[in-house]
Amino acid sequence: MKQLHFVLLFILCVFVVQAGSFDKEYKKLIEKYDVADSAKSVIPNNPVIFWNAVLDGNESLLKFGIDMKKNKGAEKEALKKTAQLPRFYPQYDESVIEDMQGFCDTMLINMGINELPLECSLHVIHSDEVNAYTRLTENGFAMCLTSALMLKKGVTYEVLMGYVAHEYAHGVLLHHIRSFYAEAKERRKNELLAGIAAGLNGLAAGANAYTAGMTGQYYDNTPYYDAIANLDNEVKVSTLKHTFAFSREQEYEADLIAFRFIENLLGSGEEFINGLRILGSTYDQLYDEYSDHPTITSRMDFLKFVQQNPTLGNKVNKKLRKKRITHELEW
């Protein structure tokens, strides 16, 4: 019995230590990726103003744009890899449920996305997989919801908007190209360090040789149910081959922005967390092969931490803004 008590106490201590480490990670994520204070202070249920405040206040995104204008090695590599990604043409894709397009277009209007100066669209894809994802188009990006997700028990209109807001964040924050850019910079940094190390080793080898010589990486589906349920099975597709492997931090950032959007729309972000609950283990299993993809549980825990710590906010953007303004004043 004493041994059992010892084991239980040990497990409890491990959980406490892990919870503390996660809290530190979550705090850093908020400080790095939360929306600007100006977006948080937008009057409730003003989606267009909210999105404009999110984008206008995102200094990291602005810095990325400035960096890309350098058009050097890493920048060119990121642009080339992004250009090589397959494009989605909804007007020709047989998996797109055309009878749902009116619903999708209306949702973008209700979310304020249609008024933003960005080329994007929303579509329902006929698939048995429970998924929401973003694909690049010829002039922008498209957000896709699967029919299996639309018909899943518990899905509401607000929950669907949360999914769309998450995918919209991926697209509007240019997560595709930023992933390639981060990879290119990291690889070039490693190559440089390896080159320096090789040079030092060469010098050391030369020195050693010399010495030796001397010493030896509110949805109501009723109007649309038939349009989804009665489709021909042969157009069903696997969506995973179209999804992009966003980084762990990019997934958390998209979650946080979607949470803030629902919070502004409804007064609370709880409905977005409900959307994650609905995805559940089925979604985790779909993304099993993406080793860096955060689990639904960890994503929910992060947003619960956000709820419990309302005084935390983005510090990185403030520093970048101060640095940019100071730099501009110097000129």
**Does the pLDDT at position 10 exceed 70?**
no
Instruction: Give 188 or 158, the one with higher predicted confidence.
Output: 158
Q: Using one digit for the tens of pLDDT, what is the confidence trace for 114-132?
A: 999 889 999 999 999 999 9
**Does the pLDDT at position 32 exceed 70?**
yes
So what's the pLDDT on residue 293?
87
So what's the pLDDT on residue 170?
98
Q: Are 245 and 133 in contact (CB under 8 A)?
A: no
Q: Which residues contact 205 (CB under 8 A, 6 or more apart)?
A: none
Rounded mean pLDDT, 123-142: 96
Q: Are 327 and 51 in contact (CB under 8 A)?
A: no
Q: Rounded to an integer, what distance in angstroms lies between the CA atom of residue 225 and that of residue 204?
A: 72
DSSP string, 88-146: P-TTT-TTB-GGGHHHHHHHHHHTTGGGSSS-EEEEEE--SS--EEEEE-SSSEEEEEE
Q: State both tokens at 153.
A: 């028990």
Tell which residue, 48, 38, 228, has the closest CA to residue 124: 228
So what's the pLDDT on residue 327?
72
So what's the pLDDT on residue 307?
97
Tell which residue, 176, 173, 87, has the closest CA to residue 138: 87
Q: Are 126 and 235 in contact (CB under 8 A)?
A: yes
Instruction: Give 291 or 248, the one with higher predicted confidence.
Output: 248
Under DSSP, the state recorded for 133 is E
Q: Rounded to an integer, what distance in angstroms lies between the CA atom of residue 174 and that of residue 208?
A: 50
So what's the pLDDT on residue 79?
95
Percent of the chain at pLDDT above 90? 67
So what's the pLDDT on residue 328?
65
Q: Using one digit for the tens of pLDDT, what is the confidence trace for 76-92?
A: 999 999 999 999 999 99
Instruction: Give 285 or 8, the one with higher predicted confidence.
Output: 285
Q: Using one digit for the tens of pLDDT, what is the confidence trace for 227-282?
A: 666 665 555 678 888 889 999 999 999 999 999 999 999 999 999 999 999 999 88
**Does the pLDDT at position 200 exceed 60?**
no
Rounded mean pLDDT, 188-192: 74
Count of positions (residues) in the chain: 331
Q: In what order do the strands lie in the sheet with 132-136?
A: 120-125, 141-146, 132-136
Tell me the backbone φ, ψ of residue 239, rounded to 5 degrees: -85, -20
So what's the pLDDT on residue 5?
55
**Does the pLDDT at position 66 exceed 60?**
yes
Q: Using one digit for the tens of pLDDT, what is the confidence trace for 39-63?
A: 999 999 999 999 999 999 999 999 9
So what's the pLDDT on residue 230?
62
Instruction: Give 291 or 122, the one with higher predicted confidence.
Output: 122
